[in-house]
Amino acid sequence: MAEGLEVALTDLQSSWNNVQHHTDEISSSRLLVRRGQAFNITLYSRNRAFQPGLDNIIFVTETGPLPDLSKGTRAVFSLEGHPGSSPWIASLQTIGANSLEGPVTAYKLGEFILLFNPWCPEDAVYLESEPQRQEYVMNDYGFIYQGNKNWIRPCPWNYGQFEENIIDICLELLDKSLNFQIDPATDCALRGSPVYISRVVSAMINSNDDNGVLNGNWGENYSDGTNPTEWMGSVAILKQWHATGCQPVRYGQCWVFAAVTCTVMRCLGIPTRVITNFNSGHDTDGNLIIDEYYDNTGRILENKKKDSVWNFHVWNECWMARNDLPPGFGGWQVLDATPQETSNGLYCCGPASVRAIKEGEVDLNYDTAFAFSMVNADCMAWLVFGGKEQKLHQDTSTVGNFISTKSIQSDERDDITENYKYREGSLQERQVFLKALQKLKAGRSPGSLRTESQPRSVPLSDSPRSLATPSLQPSDVVQVSLKFQLLDSPDMGQDIRFVLLALNMSPQFKDLRVNLSAQSLLHDGSPLLPFWQDTAFITLSPEEAKTYPCKITYSQYSQYLSTDKLIRISALGEEKNSPEKILVKKIITLAYPSIVINVLGAAIVNQPLSIQVVFSNPLSEQVEDCVLTVEGSGLFRRQQRVLIGVLKPHHRASLTLETIPFKSGQRQIQANLRSNKFKDIKGYTNVYIGL
């Protein structure tokens, strides 16, 4: 009888396999492979060579705390196995003098990590385009678009999904989920589904139900944590969460939740991108109408219903098949980790098919109705005066503008609004809106769209207007147009100069009284108290236009500004002897000068590199407690923090950092300057690191 084989050594060929599986950026010493793709291991025998036909090799792979063949968390397969008997297949490649491709008696060959595979046509996350795979899986930096619809600016972000320990933190995140804690066997069995994984990750990035990664904070006090505007990368956040025993990191807002989600999903192998929606609706009662309330000075009031229009909102899209939905709804799916509303009892949102959103199929899983309202709800403006509410106008086009993401292998912005909605004002767009509204009405009991305790609104038959009727604008009634126009770029530290343009489009004289006000806004649309008010009396001849100049000085707004740097100016006009009102508003985002980053000399792997950072104080007052933070995957192994101290008014300074790049290819350096007066002066530069 032949002597049994003894395995002396196992070579998982991690370095070679990882290159083939696009995981070599994560590690060259640990085996990380993608499902649906072969990988090689070499087994060295102690006593004799492997003999085909005589010897057989049986492999066992297991995952999770309770591996189970029936759940798919355990697989048994052999070299002589029949195709189809197991989803796992082993085959003999070569035989050396004392090598073979598997054990005979029981040996533990080693551990490996199995990831989703967008390169494999049979995988649910398969993405056909190689440039898209490089952008949405492999790229470790990008931009998150912020500002407002009239002033869109890119915020650089270090995703760092392949940085040291990030893969382990991502797996730890799955193990800390409520799903795993309650039923680990079922949770592990479902981890092969990108739909399931995306819901788990969406819930775990926020901490509302669990020890998730981030605490949200939309107030003004961040003294016991980090102001969300200061973050510029996911790595520091995930490592802090891990280092503190999975205690939520303080603090995040929507772009931080989305950026960390992008890091985790790309790390796990699911193609993911970050999306910004300008003027994003948050409809709390599911009637697809966002009510806004104003007083007679034109200032916006705190919303009783908590409906709101966010200046911008950021979420993710993840690419996957949707076999749980009717055909045609796979592809990009909305995933939103910002804790706004619950879904099946947890604060998570999605995946919602982008195509389902565009077509108004709001009854499809998951959370499609909420996602639809973010891009396509209507806005209703109300005047609150003397205890009564007067409808000012209803606008169908305010919500959902300039939906943006980073372009593929480019630093340009890609506008993807047409993926979410038909052209505003088109018949198709109104038909989809009505279709969505009818589906929502059908899904709840009669009269439940609004309760008696909520503010009076228009009847449902009036709210979506007939398909042929355009949005009711104030000028349709009073034939007078009001519009704000900035005279200068709104730079932080400078006075804000603008004019109110008044145009009489009628053949009659018009006498107008216009109340103007300015107030700071928080990022989620919540208003702060007005800090500037004015009243204009304007007389217009038939078809005459006039301008009314306005100025808000730095000293007037500086102490009232939130860290979001948002100012909302409003004008409420009324014609003499007429009950009609005209409302016009504009949001201003104050801008900082960017940090300039200069790479001094050629960037080569494992060679010293000097980086110059140039920054300045934009204010006409001294700022203190200045800290400069610099990071960049492949260039710095950890965040660089430099205490600057005091910067005098308009003072410009520079410093030089030394580093040794450890990864080749296209990389990005991000920098942030904070002080006691501002938190997020940012800058970035791209650098190619050669071998």
Q: Residue with structure tokens 């939906």?
A: 403
- SS3 call for 358: helix
Terminal Cα distance for the chain, rounded? 55
Residue 311 phi/psi, 5-degree rounding, is -50, -45
**Residue 79 tokens, joined:** 């070299």
Is 376 a known ligand-binding residue?
yes
- SS3 call for 415: strand
- Other Cβ atoms less than 10 A from the Cβ of 187: the count is 21
Instruction: Please check whether the two domains, 1-122 and 596-689, share a CATH topology.
Output: yes
Is 378 a known ligand-binding residue?
yes
- SS3 call for 129: coil
User: Is CATH 3.30.70.580 correct for 1-122?
Assistant: no
Q: Residue with structure tokens 């440039």?
A: 131
Q: Which position among 155, 170, 246, 254 bears the catalytic label?
A: 254
3-state secondary structure 641-690: EEEEEEECCCCEEEEEEEECCCCCEEEEEEEEEECCCCCCEEEEEEEEEE
Is 158 a known ligand-binding residue?
no
Q: Active site includes 254? A: yes
What residue ranges of the chain have pLDDT lower than 70? 1-3, 81-85, 94-105, 303-305, 444-478
**Residue 158 tokens, joined:** 């270090």
Give the pLDDT confidence score for residue 472 in this predicted structure: 40
Q: Residue with structure tokens 């084989």?
A: 5
- SS3 call for 153: strand
**Residue 550 tokens, joined:** 């306005």
Q: Residue with structure tokens 């944590």?
A: 225
Give the pLDDT confidence score for residue 599 in this predicted structure: 98
> For the chain, which residues make up each domain, given as ranges?
1-122, 136-442, 480-589, 596-689
Give the pLDDT confidence score for residue 334 in this predicted structure: 98
d(CA 515, CA 673): 38
- SS3 call for 256: helix
Q: Active site includes 336? A: yes
- SS3 call for 198: helix
**Residue 520 tokens, joined:** 């700071």
In this structure, what DSSP letter does residue 591 have? B
- SS3 call for 585: strand
CATH code for the structural domain at 136-442: 3.90.260.10
> DSSP alpha helices (H): ranges in 341-474?
354-359, 368-376, 417-420, 427-442
Over the stretch 66-114, which tens digit does the pLDDT of each residue have? 999 999 999 999 887 666 668 888 888 766 544 444 434 678 899 999 9
CATH code for the structural domain at 596-689: 2.60.40.10
CB 538 within 8 A of CB 501: no
Q: Which amino acid is at 417?
A: T
Give the pLDDT confidence score for residue 283 in this predicted structure: 87
Question: Measuring CA to CA, how many Å separate 22 from each of 132, 232, 488?
Answer: 14, 26, 49
Give me the residues paired with residue 572 across strands.
515, 583
CATH code for the structural domain at 480-589: 2.60.40.10
Q: Please tell me whether the peptide bond between 222 and the residue prior to it is cis, using omega within 30 degrees of 0.
A: no
d(CA 617, CA 454): 47
Question: How are beta strands 113-115 and 32-34 bridged, if at all?
Answer: parallel
Is 424 a known ligand-binding residue?
yes
Q: Which position among 55, 187, 291, 336 bears the catalytic label?
A: 336
CB 592 within 8 A of CB 492: yes
d(CA 168, CA 243): 12
Give the pLDDT confidence score for residue 305 in this predicted structure: 62
- Going across the sheet that includes 510-521, the strands are 527-540, 510-521, 566-575, 581-589
d(CA 291, CA 454): 11
Q: Active site includes 22? A: no
Q: Which position among 21, 22, 313, 393 bears the catalytic label?
A: 313
CB 202 within 8 A of CB 337: yes
Residue 179 phi/psi, 5-degree rounding, is -60, -45
